[in-house]
């Protein structure tokens, strides 16, 4: 078995394959003493030990660690980018090891469920837009909403040359609603609401597919249960995103 370099970097916990490709493109990865290429394949012995000298930013790559899966209830004000120099970074709230990465992001002014893992293959499967995994949010607006608002949100909203896909919505209170998205556009719910004349006052992600935030306290994290992990394993077995009809 000789996996491609980007896939092996993901297996070693450096994030998704897409992130690994960006590291290669940026010239931060060397392969046996030379700049790495996307065509490079990693040589493994019979015990799955890497036989190549792979370095990222000059540091030799550590072998893959056992996969770890956690749920985190992100508070408002925490930045999902893992920047050591940013005091608001999620990085400062995570354990030293194993190195965990968020699957997708929540805006700094949003809160709720984040899946954290060192499983780069799972991250790739969950983040690829063509897979259309569902994400559920509870949203509070600055004004009371009406039935027309919910209908328009569900049918799709156009803004800045973008038309969002149809989605599910339901009213929670006079000024709040639930929305289930299969897209992951930047600040999508806020921009959809703004296009219809509303402003989002509070946005909380409460579920990612069948993973639910439940009563996990804000700022706290917990490991996934065996049943929850089993529900994610099949995603890594997909070789390519489903074909659009």
pLDDT tens digits along 185-218: 889 999 999 999 999 999 999 999 999 999 999 9
What is the spatial distance between Cα 6 and Cα 1, in angstroms, rounded to a whole number?
A: 14
Residue 104: inside a domain: yes
Rounded to 5°, the CA angle 55-61-67 comes to: 150
Whether 86 and 193 share a structural domain: no
- 82 and 120 within one domain: yes
Domain end among 42, 60, 78: 60
pLDDT higher than threshold 60 for residue 49: yes
On whether both 42 and 153 belong to a single domain, the answer is: no
Task: Please indicate, yes or no, if residue 241 is contained in any of the structural domains.
Answer: no
DSSP annotation of 4 reads: B
According to the model, what pLDDT value does residue 180 have? Answer: 97
Same domain, 117 and 151: no
Element (H, E) at 123: helix 120-127
**186: containing domain:** 134-208
Provide the β-strand partners of residue 171.
177
Q: Which of 31, 4, 9 is nearest to 20 (CA)?
A: 9
**Is 94 in the same domain as 195?**
no
Q: Which residues of 60-89 are buried (b: 16+ CB within 10 A; e: fewer)?
A: ebeebeebbbbbbbbeeebbbebeeeeeeb
Residue 138: inside a domain, yes or no? yes
Within a domain: 52: yes
Same domain assignment for residues 83 and 49: no
In terms of Cα–Cα distance, which of 64, 78, 80, 95 is closest to 223?
95
Tens digits of residue pLDDT in 90-146: 999 998 878 888 988 899 999 999 999 988 778 777 776 666 789 999 999 999 999
Distance, in Å, from the CA atom of 12 to the CA atom of 27, rounded to the nearest integer, reads 18
Please identify which of the residues 25, 45, 86, 107 carries the catalytic annotation.
Answer: 107
Same domain, 97 and 160: no
* 243 lies in some domain: no
Residues 6 or more apart whose Cβ sits within 8 Å of residue 148? none
Predicted TM-score of the model (pTM):
0.78
Q: What CATH number does the domain containing 51 carry?
A: 3.10.290.10
Query: Which tens digit of pLDDT belongs to each residue from 143-179?
Result: 999 999 999 999 999 999 999 999 999 999 999 999 9
* Whether residues 140 and 201 fall in one domain: yes
Please give the mean pLDDT across all residues of the chain: 89
Q: Residue holding tokens 């009371």?
A: 144
The mean-pLDDT minimum among 1-5, 131-135, 226-230 falls in: 131-135
- The model's pLDDT over 13-22, given as tens digits with 9 standing for 90+, comes to 787 788 899 9
Q: Is 107 a catalytic residue?
A: yes
Number of domains in the chain: 3
């Amino acid at each position: 078995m000789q996996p491609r370099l980007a896939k092996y970097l993901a297996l070693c916990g450096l994030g998704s394959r897409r992130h690994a490709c960006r590291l290669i493109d940026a010239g931060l990865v060397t392969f046996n003493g030379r700049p790495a290429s996307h065509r490079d394949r990693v040589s493994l012995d019979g015990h799955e030990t890497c036989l190549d000298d792979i370095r990222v930013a000059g540091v030799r790559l550590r072998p893959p660690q056992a996969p770890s899966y956690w749920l985190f209830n992100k508070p408002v004000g925490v930045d999902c980018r893992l920047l050591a120099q940013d005091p608001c970074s999620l990085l400062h709230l995570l354990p030293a090891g194993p190195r965990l990465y968020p699957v997708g992001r929540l805006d700094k002014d949003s809160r709720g469920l984040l899946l954290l893992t060192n499983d780069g293959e799972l991250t790739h499967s969950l983040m690829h837009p063509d897979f259309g995994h569902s994400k559920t949010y509870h949203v509070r607006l600055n004004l009371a909403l009406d039935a027309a608002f919910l209908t328009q949100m569900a049918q799709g909203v156009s803004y800045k040359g973008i038309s969002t896909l149809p989605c599910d919505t339901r009213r929670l209170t006079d000024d709040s609603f639930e929305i289930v998205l299969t897209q992951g556009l930047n600040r999508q719910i806020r921009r959809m609401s703004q296009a219809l004349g509303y402003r989002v006052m509070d946005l909380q992600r409460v579920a990612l597919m069948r993973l639910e935030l439940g009563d996990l306290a804000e700022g706290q994290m917990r490991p996934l249960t065996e049943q929850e992990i089993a529900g994610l394993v099949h995603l890594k077995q997909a070789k390519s995103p489903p074909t659009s009809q």
